[in-house]
């Protein structure tokens, strides 16, 4: 099983320590685990140029580290995205990463579960997991909004969710969800 752990925290802190601890727990399993810190990568915001849909299908016009992440997502069986809430939403760093997932889709629209969505470009996508943190505390309502957003993101790729929790989860519980669910 290939596991991709994506740390969306803009700075070192509890969430990054949790990402590393989860990777440490996975080291004692058969999982082939790869950790990516978004803050250490060069990822530019989406230009909205639609090149990934029209000119160079599946390839973003921006040549940066997002290309590597897209390839790794397609190779992964599980993707765990950890991100902090900032002003009630995912960090800007994480949002840029999520916006740049667009090349994984086709420009054609279809209806899935009563809503419009893009057709999938590839035949296989990984299961997704999410851990949401906050340095300043998080209300139940804020977490539910983030959890709903996470469900929506996974649904774009018709992917199951193996985890959708707050950052108070233990590394052992998170690792168990990755390899056992």
Predicted pLDDT at 159 = 94
Domains of the chain: which residue ranges?
2-180
Determine contact, residues 10/157, Cβ cutoff 8 Å.
no
What Cα–Cα distance (Å) separates residue 33 from each residue in 23, 40, 77?
A: 7, 18, 10
Report the C-alpha gap between 162 and 149 in whole angstroms.
15
pLDDT at 108: 86
Instruction: State the number of CA atoms in the 13 A half-sphere of 20 facing the CB.
Output: 8
Superfamily of domain 2-180: Flavodoxin domain (3.40.50.360)
More confident residue, 106 or 94: 94
pLDDT at 181: 67
Condensed to tens digits (0 to 9), the pLDDT of residues 55-100 reads 888 889 999 999 999 999 999 999 999 999 998 889 999 999 999 9
Average pLDDT of the residues of the chain: 94
pLDDT at residue 105 tops 70? yes
What percent of the chain is modeled with pLDDT above 70?
A: 99
């Amino acid at each position: 099983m290939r596991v991709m752990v994506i740390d969306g925290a803009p700075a070192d802190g509890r969430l990054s320590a949790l990402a590393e601890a989860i990777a440490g727990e996975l080291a004692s399993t058969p999982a082939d685990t790869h950790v990516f810190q978004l803050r250490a990568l060069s990822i530019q915001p989406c230009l909205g140029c639609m090149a990934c849909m029209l000119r160079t299908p599946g390839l973003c016009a921006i040549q940066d580290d997002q290309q590597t992440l897209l390839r790794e997502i397609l190779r992964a069986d599980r993707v765990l995205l950890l991100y902090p809430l900032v002003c009630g939403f995912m960090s800007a760093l994480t949002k840029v990463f999520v916006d740049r997932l667009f090349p994984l889709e086709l420009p054609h629209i279809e209806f899935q579960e009563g809503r419009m969505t893009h057709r999938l470009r590839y035949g296989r996508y990984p299961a997704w997991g999410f851990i949401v943190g906050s340095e300043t505390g998080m209300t139940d309502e804020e977490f539910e909004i983030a959890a709903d957003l996470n469900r929506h993101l996974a649904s774009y790729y018709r992917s199951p969710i193996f985890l959708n929790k707050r950052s108070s989860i233990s590394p052992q519980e998170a690792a168990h969800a990755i390899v056992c669910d």
